[in-house]
């Protein structure tokens, strides 16, 4: 597997896997192109200029941090992201590291239960399972429309083992309860879905959707993009 596929795919998730401002999206797309070019040049043995060396060093730290995060080694991951930001802040890759670092700041925070939720489908509680995945999404977001239905499969697969999924929306951009309920019905979502007032998004440091966090034993143990969750990670959360 090429190093570009290994690095740029998770980088794309961090940078473009959430609904954001169109101008920012274009900048992030340009960054992906830049990373691809650097990776290709190194793979072909063409060497790298000093600036590209710094890009490569930042990418390496990003890759190491991603691996640590997938192993639930959050403190080690935070250290790698911080190293990238502190030492390679002039690189574009450092922006992704800074974004990931902000997400991980909530890990370890205590939370007894979700607050100020108007339940639209079922009713969820963090204490109802061994571990709970809280997913933030909006009906208007194309990335959410792709990722949120996939979580139904995850929920069906692991709910009897003690893993819960809760979806939260703020119903922004003029969307209504009818819009949300239509989406829930179309996708046959069976896990609890509620409308929040923004306080939960603030607590979990959500800046773009979709976003996800896992709560276990009253503490946040993981925070990232929902597409990064693997069966192995879930098994560890409900088995540990």
Q: Looking at 15-19, 154-158, 180-184, which range is the least confident one?
A: 15-19
Q: Are 208 and 141 in contact (CB under 8 A)?
A: no
Question: What distance in Å separates the CA atoms of residue 102 and residue 17, rounded to the nearest whole number?
Answer: 16
Structure-block tokens of residue 169: 């929306």
Residue written as tokens 């691809």?
36
- At residue 2, the pLDDT reads 40
Q: Are 111 and 215 in contact (CB under 8 A)?
A: yes
Give me the domains of the chain, ranges plus CATH numbers: 3-104 (no CATH), 117-239 (3.40.30.10)
Is the pLDDT confidence value at 3 over 50? Answer: no
Is the pLDDT confidence value at 66 over 70? Answer: yes
DSSP output for 83-97:
HHHHH-TTSSHHHHH
Q: What is the pTM of this model?
A: 0.77
Bridge-based pairing state of the strands 193-196 and 163-169: parallel
Structure-block tokens of residue 240: 């540990």
Residue written as tokens 């911080």?
82
- 70-101 pLDDT, tens digit each: 888 889 999 999 999 999 998 989 998 998 89
Helical (H) or strand (E) element with 136: strand 131-136
- 133-178 pLDDT, tens digit each: 999 999 999 999 999 999 999 999 999 999 999 999 999 999 999 9
Question: What distance in Å separates the CA atoms of residue 35 and residue 24, rounded to the nearest whole number?
Answer: 17
């Amino acid at each position: 597997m090429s190093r570009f596929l290994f690095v740029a795919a998770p980088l794309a998730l961090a940078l473009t896997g959430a609904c954001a401002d169109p101008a920012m999206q274009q900048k992030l797309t340009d960054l992906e192109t830049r990373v691809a070019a650097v990776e290709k040049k190194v793979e072909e043995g063409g060497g790298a200029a000093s600036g590209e060396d710094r890009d490569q060093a930042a990418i390496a730290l990003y890759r190491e941090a991603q691996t640590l995060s997938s192993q639930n080694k959050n403190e080690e991951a935070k250290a790698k992201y911080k190293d990238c930001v502190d030492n390679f802040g002039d690189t574009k890759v450092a922006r992704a590291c800074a974004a990931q670092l902000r997400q991980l700041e909530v890990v370890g925070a205590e939370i007894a239960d979700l607050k100020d939720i108007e339940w639209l489908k079922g009713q969820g509680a963090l204490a109802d399972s061994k571990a709970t995945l809280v997913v933030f999404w909006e009906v208007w977001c194309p990335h959410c429309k792709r990722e949120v239905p996939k979580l139904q499969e995850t929920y069906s697969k692991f709910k009897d083992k003690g893993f819960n999924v809760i979806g939260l929306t703020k119903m922004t951009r003029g969307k209504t309860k009818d819009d949300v309920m239509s989406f829930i019905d179309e996708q046959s979502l069976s896990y609890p879905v509620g409308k929040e007032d923004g306080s939960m998004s603030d607590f979990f440091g959500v800046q773009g959707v979709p976003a996800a966090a896992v709560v276990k034993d009253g503490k946040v143990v993981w925070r990232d993009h929902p597409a990064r969750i693997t069966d192995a990670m879930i098994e560890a959360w409900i088995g540990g």
